[in-house]
Amino acid sequence: MTAHGIVDASHSHVLPPEFDRRYPMIVAGDGVWVQDAAGRRYLDAMSGGSMALTLGHGRRDLIEAARAQAQQLAFVHNERLTNPAQEQLARELTAVAPEGMERVHFVTGGAEANECALRLARSYHVERGEPSRWRVISPAQAYHGPTMATLALTGRAGLQGPLTPYLQEQPHIPPSTWRFDPSGEEALAALDRALEQVGPETVSAFFCEAVSAAALPAYTPPPRFWEGLAERRERHGFLICFDEVVTGMGRTGSWFAADKLPFTPDIIATAKGLGAGYAAIGATICHERVYDAIAAGSRRFTLGHTWDGAPLPCAVGIAVIDALRRSRLIERVAKRGERLRRELSEALAGVGMVREVRGHGFLLGVEYVDPRDGESFLPSELGVAGRIDDVALERGLVILSTQPTGDGYAGDQSLFAPPFTTTDEELAEMVSRFAGVVRDVADAVERELAGRKPVPQPIPAADAQ
């Protein structure tokens, strides 16, 4: 028992198995607040928990758009029929997508959007007479979804678990974080080795998050990596696919994170913010050159899901784009995000366990290290990530931390990703509650570590097997 609640910051909270977890029952949401069945209110600093709810809870415009569409036309299947909502959303989404990305296919979520990106990349090469291209190289420290093809794209064996027999082995490269490769040159060398090893003529795509989400909060490779990646695309003819499931639709302060990079990707997959938590919708957007290859070839792109392009989620997507534009929310995220990162840094200043506060727009990440040397991973048995989330919840704050040390290139870290509509006062309260939680957990961790020797953590060998 602490002064703040029943969770003791000095208790280890290694995340229990799903069957053993406690799931607070959330019964209502309003703006950036949610309320549980017992009437307790929580500040939602994670946009619904998974960064989807970009515009907050209880949006009348989105609710009304869904209601009106359901009344007019709830559903038609897009294999033989289309509908005005799908066509309008396609026009509006491609209008805000990077230059030249003119074609879109709607799906129902992030993993499906990524799978569709994989299918598109493969089709592009087959249509152009290069059926040998199928491999996908990607950073090991990533998450692209729980379906078999997307799970194969992460190098984190712990996420794949017993499913490996179903997963196609793909080459991976390590991240260019301060710990491994601050310049980006090592990752490029690993990419070259992977290309060499499998043969560049077998590579269909390089697949990555432009700015990472939970796997490596708010991390983006250094400029040299992006330049080198674009050079290699030119040289070897693979496509670049961006997983913008989290970053698309404004999260990092531009419509797409790709907008800030020195090249245009070939394919972008996006999802969460497109429905803003009010509808299950994702989209795969491709450059005209990808579409043209298929249009000039077989003109076939078969297989789809029942809900692809259905009117109801598309109507919500249109209302989301309208809200983002009308309230100039992406501009706000860009400007306010910079200040938010500074505020978070200041609030955490002097905490030995906090190595880095990074971020873009309203996608911020905090990286924790062993306070004794300021760089080693924290011992995983301390369960710092889980502890931070538990203490935060007890103090009425929803946050998401991860601890992929066992299967990846990152230790304990937290995401901080509030809805774009969060007021200045609410942001201040989120920062203050979060910093209080981190400080108390850090104090407890320092006490626990006193007198213990740091234990080196094994680093996975995901470098271009």
Ligand X SMILES: Cc1ncc(COP(=O)(O)O)c(C=O)c1O
Q: Which of 48, 56, 110, 139 binds ligand X (CB under 6 A)?
A: 110
Q: Where are the alpha helices (DSSP H) in 299-383?
A: 311-326, 329-347
Which range of residues in 82-90, 216-224, 238-246, 303-311 is near ligand X by CB under 6 A?
Answer: 238-246
CB 136 within 8 A of CB 125: no
Identity of the residue, 126 or 267, whose beta carbon is nearer to ligand X in the bound complex: 267
Q: Strands 135-139 and 203-208, how do they pair?
A: parallel
- DSSP element (H, E) containing 191: helix 185-198
Residues paired with 357 in a beta bridge: 366
Select from 65, 245, 437, 441 the one that contacts ligand X (CB under 6 A). 245
Residue nearest ligand X, CB atom distance: 110
- Name the one range near ligand X by CB under 6 A: 57-65, 241-249, 257-265, 441-449: 241-249
Q: Closest distance between ligand X and the C-beta of residue 351, in Å? A: 26
Residues 60-79 that bind ligand X (CB under 6 A): none
Q: What angle do CA 247, 251, 255 make, to 5 degrees?
A: 80
Q: Which stretch binds ligand X (CB under 6 A): 96-104, 207-215, 257-265, 435-443?
A: 207-215
Least Å distance, CB 439 to ligand X, is 28
Question: Which of 127, 181, 243, 356 lies at the binding interface for ligand X (CB under 6 A)?
Answer: 243
10 or 50: CB nearest ligand X = 50
Total residue length of the chain: 465
Among 62, 101, 111, 410, binds ligand X (CB under 6 A): 111
Nearer Cβ to ligand X, position 144 or 232?
144
Pairing of strands 267-270, 282-287: antiparallel
According to CB under 6 A, which one of 42, 106, 124, 143 is a site residue for ligand X? 143
Residue 308 lies near ligand X (rule: CB under 6 A): no
* 413 vs 445 by CB, closer to ligand X: 413
H/E element, 115: helix 110-127
Which of 85, 246, 316, 415 touches ligand X by CB under 6 A?
246
Nearest approach, Cβ of 246 to ligand X (angstroms)?
Answer: 5
What amino acid occupies position 80? R
Instruction: Give the three-class secondary structure for 60.
Output: helix
Closest contact distance (angstroms) between CB of 401 and ligand X is 14
Site size with ligand X, rule: CB under 6 A: 15
Letters for 268-307 (x = contact with ligand X by CB under 6 A, - = none) are ---x------------------------------------
Residues 411 and 384: their CA atoms lie apart, in Å, by: 10
**Nearer Cβ to ligand X, position 226 or 370?**
226
Residue with tokens 């991976």: 172
Show the site string, 20-59: x = touches ligand X by CB under 6 A, - = not. Answer: ------------------------------x---------
CA-CA-CA-CA torsion sign (51, 52, 58, 60): positive
Instruction: Work out how close the CB of 295 gets to ligand X at its nearest, in angstroms, rounded to a whole number.
Output: 28
Tell the residue number behind the tokens 């994702």, with chain if given. Answer: 282
> Distance (Å, rounded) from C-alpha 398 to C-alpha 221?
28
Measure the CA angle with vertex 415, ends 413 and 420; round to 5°.
Answer: 165
Asked if 219 contacts 406 with a C-beta cutoff of 8 angstroms, the reply is no
Query: Smallest gap, in angstroms, from Cβ of residue 91 to ligand X?
Result: 23
Tell me phi and psi for residue 303, to 5 degrees. Answer: 70, 130
Helix-helix angle 311-326:60-72, to 10 degrees: 150
Closest CA to 105 of 247, 286, 242, 264: 286
Establish if 213 lies at the interface with ligand X (CB under 6 A).
yes
The first and second tokens of residue 65, run together, are 């758009």
- Stretch of 25-33, 128-136, 137-145, 419-427 lying at the interface with ligand X (CB under 6 A): 137-145
Is 90 an interacting residue with respect to ligand X (CB under 6 A)?
Answer: no
Q: Which one of the spans 36-44, 67-75, 240-248, 286-294 is the region binding ligand X (CB under 6 A)?
A: 240-248
Whether 393 contacts 379, CB under 8 Å: no
Contact positions vs ligand X (CB under 6 A) = 50, 109-111, 114, 143-145, 209, 213-214, 243, 245-246, 271
